[in-house]
Amino acid sequence: MEEIKLNKPTDKELSDMGVTRWPIWEKEVSTFDWSYDSTEMCYLLAGKVAVKTADGKIVEFGKGDFVTFPEGLSCTWEVKEPVRKHYKFK
């Protein structure tokens, strides 16, 4: 299975992808299980999250991070600070 990809794009890269036109998702501090039936790309405007994959790997990310979750991934989200993100499924 593919890994969660994490990077910090430039303003130009965000603009080129049209990120500001993507929908916004918000979530309060919480913990929940999630499975991806398609690849999700997201850019965090606010918040702090730790995602634990089924194999025990923990990936932490927050404001300013661009994250790609692969199709087929099952994980547990721990929202440590309220999240606001742009997202897009492909």
From CA 11, how far away is CA 7, in angstroms rounded?
13
CATH of the domain at 64: 2.60.120.10
Query: Hunting for tokens 């499975």 — which residue is that?
Result: 35
pLDDT in tens, 1-37: 679 999 999 999 999 999 999 999 999 999 999 999 9
Mean pLDDT score, 45-61? 96
Residue 19 DSSP one-character state: G
* CB-CB contact of 22 with 87 (8 Å): yes
When divided into structural domains, the chain yields a total of 1
pTM: 0.94
Domain of 19?
Answer: 5-89
